[in-house]
Amino acid sequence: MSAPSTIERATDLPSLAVRNLNKAFGGVQAVRDVSFDLAEGELLALIGPNGAGKSTCFNMLNGQIPADSGSVRLAGEELLGYAPAEIWRRGVGRTFQITATFPSMTVAENVAMVLMSQQRELFSFFRSATHRHRDRAMELLDLVGMTGQADRPCGVLSYGDLKRVELAVALGNTPRVLLMDEPTAGMAPRERLELMGLAARLVGDLGISVLFTEHDMDIVFGHADRIIVLSRGALIAEGNAEQIRNDPLVLKTYLGEGQIYGQAED
């Protein structure tokens, strides 16, 4: 008897299936029984007030913190329990902070450097390795419209351009799922819109599924295919922009924070 075709079956599965995810820090239940699916090619926003548990969720999905219980399946394969590098290797990408690396290296060198470290070549012969990765770095920079700045030092880039480079790096292993926790944090409103517009186009073109968090509701409502809402560790709503805007529980959750409509001016 032949084995069932996992490739055929995988196409019917959600990219990411999260079930009953839990995490407590001491007495604080940061994430409580969270379950959701991320469909293939979907741009899904995870929103919620500060401290709702969004980053804790992300960090369990990418393996940076262990879950207390639950399941996270990537196209049917369980991810929980694997180290971050292994989860990344299996196709769950995330944005890396370029800002934290080497400001005097050029943009292209920085991207090549991250590609090398992702492929555990950091300690291989440096010059030849950079050279080998330069072509790939240029391809990635081209995706985000940054080839013109490839040979400038990273340290002179605007914050918005740095974020574009981070997005390029995140696409380095052509992930199946991309996790972006506040990708536009610290950016001016217009730069935020541009970055998310770019992310939306790229994931559409490349067929990547994206889970992202974002404070700016204009961006969430403008770009997300679907929105899930976390409050005190638990999911309280799910729907499209129209449904979330009018959800009584969501409105109540955000009312004290005054966050749900337009933060474009901050």
Residues 78-97 that bind ligand ADP (CB under 6 A): none
What is the Cα–Cα distance from 169 to 88, expressed in whole angstroms?
A: 13
Amino acid (one-letter) located at 209: S
**Residue 28 contacts which entry, ligand ADP, Mg ion, none (Cβ below 5-8 A, type-dependent):** ligand ADP
Minimum distance from CB of 51 to Mg ion (Å)? 8
Considering the complex, state which of residue 64 and residue 101 has its C-beta at the smaller distance from ligand ADP: 64
Q: What does 50 bind: ligand ADP, Mg ion, none (CB cut-off 5 to 8 Å by kind)?
A: ligand ADP
**Minimum distance from CB of 99 to ligand ADP (Å)?**
19
Among 15, 55, 95, 106, binds Mg ion (CB under 5 A): 55
Toward ligand ADP, which CB reaches closer, 24 or 156?
A: 24
**Residue placing its CB nearer to Mg ion in the complex, 54 or 223:** 54
Which parts of 32-71 interact with ligand ADP (CB under 6 A)?
48, 50-56
Distance between CA atoms of residues 5 and 32, nearest Å? 34
Q: Among residues 28, 122, 185, 255, which is the contact residue for ligand ADP, using CB under 6 A? A: 28
Please state the closest distance from residue 46 (CB atom) to ligand ADP, in A. 8
Least Å from the CB of residue 41 to ligand ADP: 25
Give residues 140-179 in contact with ligand ADP (rule: CB under 6 A): none
Tell me how many residues contact ligand ADP (CB under 6 A): 11
CB-wise, 58 or 88, nearer to ligand ADP? 58
Distance CA 180, CA 250 (A): 22
Nearer to ligand ADP, 25 or 102 (CB): 25
| Contacts (CB under 5 A) with Mg ion, residues 146-205 | none
3-state helix/strand/coil string of the chain: CCCCCHHHHHCCCCCEEEEEEEEEECCEEEEEEEEEEECCCCEEEEECCCCCCHHHHHHHHCCCCCCCEEEEEECCEECCCCCHHHHHHCCEEECCCHHHCCCCCEHHHHHHHHHHHHCCCCCCCHHHHHHHHHHHHHHHHHHCCCHHHCCCEHHHCCHHHHHHHHHHHHCCCCCCEEEEECCCCCCCHHHHHHHHHHHHHHHHHHCCEEEEECCCHHHHHHHCCEEEEEECCEEEEEECHHHHHCCHHHHHHHHCCCCCCCCCCC
Which of Mg ion, ligand ADP, none binds 11 (CB below 5-8 Å, type-dependent)? Answer: none
Residue 30 within binding range of ligand ADP, rule CB under 6 A? yes
Q: How far is the CB of 57 from Mg ion (least distance, A)?
A: 9
Q: What angle do CA 99, 96, 31 make, to 5 degrees?
A: 120
Question: Residues interacting with ligand ADP, by CB under 6 A?
Answer: 25, 28, 30, 48, 50-56
Question: Residues interacting with Mg ion, by CB under 5 A?
Answer: 54-55
